[in-house]
Amino acid sequence: MNLADLNKVALAMVTPGKGILAADESSGTIKKRFDAIKVESTEENRRDYREMLFRSTEAMSKYVSGVILYDETIWQTARDGTPLIKLIEQSGAIPGIKVDEGTQALPQCPGELVTVGLDKLAERLKKYYERGARFAKWRAVIDIGSGIPTMTAISVNAHALARYAALCQAAQIVPIVEPEVLMDGDHDIDRCYDVTQSVLNKTFQELRLQRVELEGMVLKPNMAISGKKCAKQASVDEVAEKTVRMLKACVPAAVPGIAFLSGGQSDEEATAHLNAMNRIGGLPWKLTFSYGRALQAAPQKAWSGKAENIAAGQRAFTHRAKMNALASKGEWETGLEKKVA
């Protein structure tokens, strides 16, 4: 393992003014997104949609540092025969790959899940590296509810995240470590804060035990935020203040950067929260975005599966990427949302 090279890639992934496009939706997830815009989820349509994003020259070259791909996508070629991964490289962005294989029910823990995919991961990582991937992603899912999460679920998922991260670094691939505490419940921001703090502390304990080099990874956490069904939604400033406080308490300064997931926030909420955190300033790590739906909902709607809408889809993608790029420097403001490129 060459730590200097891993650190260089990790720093490039969190370049100020750029963020990571999470285009790694599973087949089931992208089908739901396509159903919403009345587009059939065929391999060709999925390819065409992602090609549209990767050929968005302004967005990809100016505002995107890396792209997380799904296994199907990393092997696909564009309509003209160019490998999609080459389109990403040509834009100056770094290709990455989602390597977990989804979740299964956690035995003896009703309502809780464990992420799977460690079997044969070393062999898969080797193939992905040869294809051009320089970072990877593994998502652990922690739900908040009555009596959950249990320490069992937190421990098992943190252990798997650390095992994955160690295997990535051995393969000269930067791991994105993603422990996601879901925002689906009726819990308030303080409950989210407490649970996320426990999850992050356990995750970093496991990372240290498994000798993961913190300088060669990127953290992808949720923000401290109210559950969607909570009657009292925390303000933008409260989310920013509590998230920064939580991260300072849990995340070592050796980590090059933190790329937040959007986790079901609206487009503008995800942007506003990131912006407010960067305005607080004085942070030991870079704070940026690794958004999926919050970057793609607008371009999906604008495109709607029609070739004649490709330019409109690319404009919508460029706008959202630019808004979040500004937020990653604390330079976004609401008025800019009306100035669609």
pTM score, whole prediction: 0.96
How far apart (Å, rounded) are the C-alpha atoms in residues 83 and 178? 27
Domains identified in the chain and CATH numbers: 3-338 (3.20.20.70)
**Candidate list 25, 178, 206, 213, residue with the active-site label:** 178
Q: Which residues of 45-84 are buried (b: 16+ CB within 10 A; e: fewer)?
A: ebbbbbbbbbbbebbbebbbbbbbbbebbbebebeeeebb
Whether 178 is a known active-site residue: answer yes
58 to each of 101, 302, 307, 309, how far by Cα in Å? Answer: 32, 17, 19, 17
**Candidate list 202, 220, 286, 322, residue with the active-site label:** 220
pLDDT category at 143 given cuts 50, 70, 90 is very high
Can you tell me the mean pLDDT for 221-232? 96
Cα end-to-end distance, the chain, whole Å: 43
The alpha carbon dihedral of 44, 47, 53, 55 has a sign of negative
How far apart (Å, rounded) are the C-alpha atoms in residues 280 and 290? 20
Instruction: To the nearest 10°, report the CA torsion of 113, 183, 138, 173.
Output: -160
How far apart (Å, rounded) are the C-alpha atoms in residues 157 and 6? 24
Please report the pLDDT score of residue 339 as a whole number: 61
pLDDT tens track for 239-284:
999 999 999 999 999 999 999 999 989 999 999 999 999 999 899 9
The dihedrals phi and psi of 140, each to the nearest 5 degrees, come to: -105, 140
Can you tell me the mean pLDDT for 209-218? 98
How far apart (Å, rounded) are the C-alpha atoms in residues 152 and 206? 14
Position 132 pLDDT exceeds 80: yes
pLDDT category at 341 given cuts 50, 70, 90 is very low
- With both helix axes pointing from N to C terminus, report the angle between 267-280 and 310-327 in degrees, rounded to the nearest 10: 30
